[in-house]
Amino acid sequence: MNFGLSEEQVLLKNTIRRFLEEQCPTTRVRAIMEGESGHDPALWEGLVDLGVSGLIIPAAYGGSGLELLDFALAAEELGYACTPGPFIGVAMATVALLEGGDAAQREQWLPRIASGKALATIAFGEGDGEWDPRKYAARVQGDQLTGAKPFVPYASAADAIIVAAHDSNGPGLWLVERGAPGIEIIRLKVNDLTRRVETVRFTGTPARKLGGNAAALQRTLNAGCVLIAGDAYGGSSRCLEMAVQYAKQREQFGQIIGAFQAVKHQVANLACELEPSLSLYWYAAHAFDRIHDKSERHAALAKAHLSDLYDRVTRDTTELHGGIGFTWEFDLHLWFRRAIFDRSFLGDANFHRARAADLAGW
């Protein structure tokens, strides 16, 4: 019974954390997010050099051959540091290729993703909060994809987009390459400027099918849920740290505000909720890796639970900071916006809870 991280995993976390402390302080986060694309290739390259993009890619393709738990730890650290960039899309596309890609597709894309030479992303949800793959309207007929995906992470920067759609056999995954005919990408004004999403419209776009069908699609979604949960945990723990730090410094009414019981209780409540939620996301990642029959429900539970928590943490933390917390200049809203992303990307908490109830067979 070893419900904890290995030395290597702790080292991985610390390495990513140190790198981001040095290379991605909030000044750089702001510079990138205020830029046009919200993506800094140099920063991504730094993460690639650490092995982040290739964490779960087998060594044969130039990756580290690790598991989703390790990937989720990286997601946590990226969330902790509010890191701008295409991680979530790249990560889910990688899972899709591993779960559903044929040998040629894996050979073509995985080494380039691991080495940072290519970016990939995923196009799943179709708006109105619908993230159930069985309900997607995007269709493939004779290798031609038609449909609209409103929220695709970093579509403009992607060399490959893995699209969830249907053909006559049902739901599946298709790969579309940059520059293919019939793709229209529409820029959006978004709240989380560190993780841009764009609308992509496909009209008769050539698409190559991944072999895995519905199961691979679901695994990809499950992995994405776990990674979002990890991000939410990382961001929440950063916000709690900031709240505690502020409570120890700020003086009002003749004392450090952290001495007031109401302030103490607010942070204590957050800490109380945060601690067990770490174990929930760890378990969900572990289930994806090793306890497959529990994986789908746990991914849904973790995503819902952690994104709800992130919402509460960011609100309470901002409130605790008083007026300064509400300014653009103060960094807190960076994470507040991340929480807004995590709330609904891949499906909101109610969607996932309804799914989990259905999966329980009730």
Contact positions toward another protein, by CB under 8 A?
1-6, 69, 244, 247-248, 255-256, 258-261, 263-265, 267-269, 271-273, 275-280, 282-283, 286, 291, 298, 301-302, 304-305, 350, 353-354, 356-357, 362
Nearer to another protein, 4 or 179 (CB): 4
- Using an 8 Å Cβ cutoff, are 192 and 122 in contact? no
SS3 assignment, position 66:
coil
Cβ of 181: how many Cβ atoms within 10 Å? 10
Cβ of 17: how many Cβ atoms within 10 Å? 16
Q: How far is the CB of 301 from another protein (least distance, A)?
A: 5
Nearer to another protein, 8 or 143 (CB): 8
Nearer to another protein, 6 or 141 (CB): 6
Residues 6+ apart with CB under 8 A from 227: 68, 71, 72, 75, 88, 91, 92
Task: Please give the structure tokens belonging to residue 9.
Answer: 């995993």
Nearer to another protein, 54 or 258 (CB): 258
Q: How far is the CB of 358 from another protein (least distance, A)?
A: 8
- Using an 8 Å Cβ cutoff, are 39 and 196 in contact? yes
Q: How far is the CB of 65 from another protein (least distance, A)?
A: 16
Any idea which residue has 């004392």 for tokens? 255
Euclidean distance between CA atoms 222 and 49, whole angstroms: 27
Euclidean distance between CA atoms 96 and 278, whole angstroms: 25
Euclidean distance between CA atoms 295 and 323, whole angstroms: 42
Nearer to another protein, 211 or 322 (CB): 322
- Using an 8 Å Cβ cutoff, are 106 and 98 in contact? yes
Q: How far is the CB of 259 from another protein (least distance, A)?
A: 5
| Alpha carbon separation from 57 to 114, 157, 341 (Å, rounded) | 7, 21, 26
Q: How far is the CB of 264 from another protein (least distance, A)?
A: 4
Q: How far is the CB of 99 from another protein (least distance, A)?
A: 21
Nearer to another protein, 305 or 338 (CB): 305
Q: How far is the CB of 61 from another protein (least distance, A)?
A: 24
Euclidean distance between CA atoms 243 and 247, whole angstroms: 6
Nearer to another protein, 174 or 283 (CB): 283
